[in-house]
């Protein structure tokens, strides 16, 4: 399973990328606004930090304007993936990007039929928003399972990128449901390393080791 970071904070991305466990990055207009810097500059910097796919979202709502923006974003670096909203116009643009060989991440997916249309349009990634569906009173992870079944039935190549991940349980459930990737906020990613029993066990081992008076080197 590929693990992406959902952030445009380059300092935080550098820190976590140093673990060697970050396969890619996703951004959105909200995250770019939080970064408070010019988008193209931030995306270029992120593409230097992480070798894998870096999603950069268009701001236009009409397909021709999305294509113009997406081509500009794709020119920033070879690992840019153009993020497009799951609208009729977005899928028209997705289809055109596919024919141009530009990778796309179709975002704001909240239903299985939407995901089916995105795959038919040639999306490289589909981003179902698990947490926001949970907030809405649905079971977000059910959508991942539905999309997995549909894509497997028809051998679609579109990768399922579980998004709007809020906690480690979401990461576990997305992995069990067969998501190809999950994009994770940095604080949730950092928490994945931790368990209180790991800390407790390590304290005990270190204390017992100290009592031996030995040194490995």
Smallest gap from Cβ 28 to ligand G3P, in A, equals 4
What is the enclosing helix (H) or strand (E) of 83? Answer: strand 80-85
- What are the tokens at 146? 């539905």
- What are the tokens at 91? 């899928």
Beta carbons of 112 and 147 less than 8 angstroms apart: yes
Beta carbons of 72 and 44 less than 8 angstroms apart: no
Q: Which of 14, 34, 83, 211 is catalytic?
A: 83
Beta carbons of 57 and 28 less than 8 angstroms apart: yes
Smallest gap from Cβ 42 to ligand G3P, in A, equals 14
Q: CB nearer to ligand G3P: give 61 or 202.
A: 61
The half-sphere exposure of 71 on its side-chain side, counting CA atoms within 13 A, is 9
User: Looking at 123, 163, 173, 179, which residue binds ligand G3P (CB under 6 A)?
Assistant: 163
Q: CB nearer to ligand G3P: give 6 or 45.
A: 6
If one asks whether residue 72 binds ligand G3P (CB under 6 A), the answer comes out as no
Smallest gap from Cβ 55 to ligand G3P, in A, equals 8
Size of the site for ligand G3P (CB under 6 A): 9
- Max Cα separation, the chain? 71
User: Looking at 4, 97, 129, 189, which residue binds ligand G3P (CB under 6 A)?
Assistant: 129
Smallest gap from Cβ 188 to ligand G3P, in A, equals 9
Asked whether the CA dihedral 114, 116, 120, 125 is positive or negative, the reply is: positive
Smallest gap from Cβ 214 to ligand G3P, in A, equals 48
- Pattern 18-47, binding to ligand G3P, x per CB under 6 A? --------x-x-------------------
Phi, then psi, of 4 in degrees rounded to 5: -110, 155
Looking at residues 165 to 204 of the shown chain, list those that interact with ligand G3P (rule: CB under 6 A). Answer: 183
Q: CB nearer to ligand G3P: give 30 or 215.
A: 30
53: left (phi over 0), alpha (psi -120 to 50) or beta: beta
Rounded CA-CA distance 61/58 in Å is: 8
Active site residues: 83
Binding site for ligand G3P (CB under 6 A): 6, 26, 28, 129, 131-132, 163-164, 183
């Amino acid at each position: 399973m590929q693990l992406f970071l959902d952030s445009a904070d380059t300092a935080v991305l550098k820190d976590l990328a140093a673990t060697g466990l970050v396969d890619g990055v996703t951004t959105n207009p909200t995250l770019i606004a939080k970064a408070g810097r010019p988008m193209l500059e931030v995306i270029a910097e992120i593409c230097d930090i992480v070798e894998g796919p870096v999603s950069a979202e268009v701001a236009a709502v009409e397909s021709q304007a999305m294509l113009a923006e997406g081509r500009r974003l794709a020119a920033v670096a070879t690992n840019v993936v153009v993020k497009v909203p799951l609208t009729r116009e977005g899928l028209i643009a997705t289809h055109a990007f596919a024919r141009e060989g530009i990778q796309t991440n179709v975002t704001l997916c909240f239903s299985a039929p939407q995901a089916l249309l995105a795959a038919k349009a040639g999306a490289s990634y589909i981003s179902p928003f698990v947490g926001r569906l949970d907030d809405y009173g649905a079971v977000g992870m059910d959508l991942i399972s539905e999309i997995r079944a549909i894509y497997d039935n028809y051998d679609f190549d579109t990768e399922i990128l579980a998004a709007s991940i809020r906690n480690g349980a979401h990461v576990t459930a997305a992995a069990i449901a067969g998501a190809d990737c999950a994009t994770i906020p940095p604080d949730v990613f950092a928490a994945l390393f931790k368990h209180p029993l790991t800390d407790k066990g390590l304290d005990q081992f270190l204390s017992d080791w100290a009592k031996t008076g030995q040194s490995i080197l």
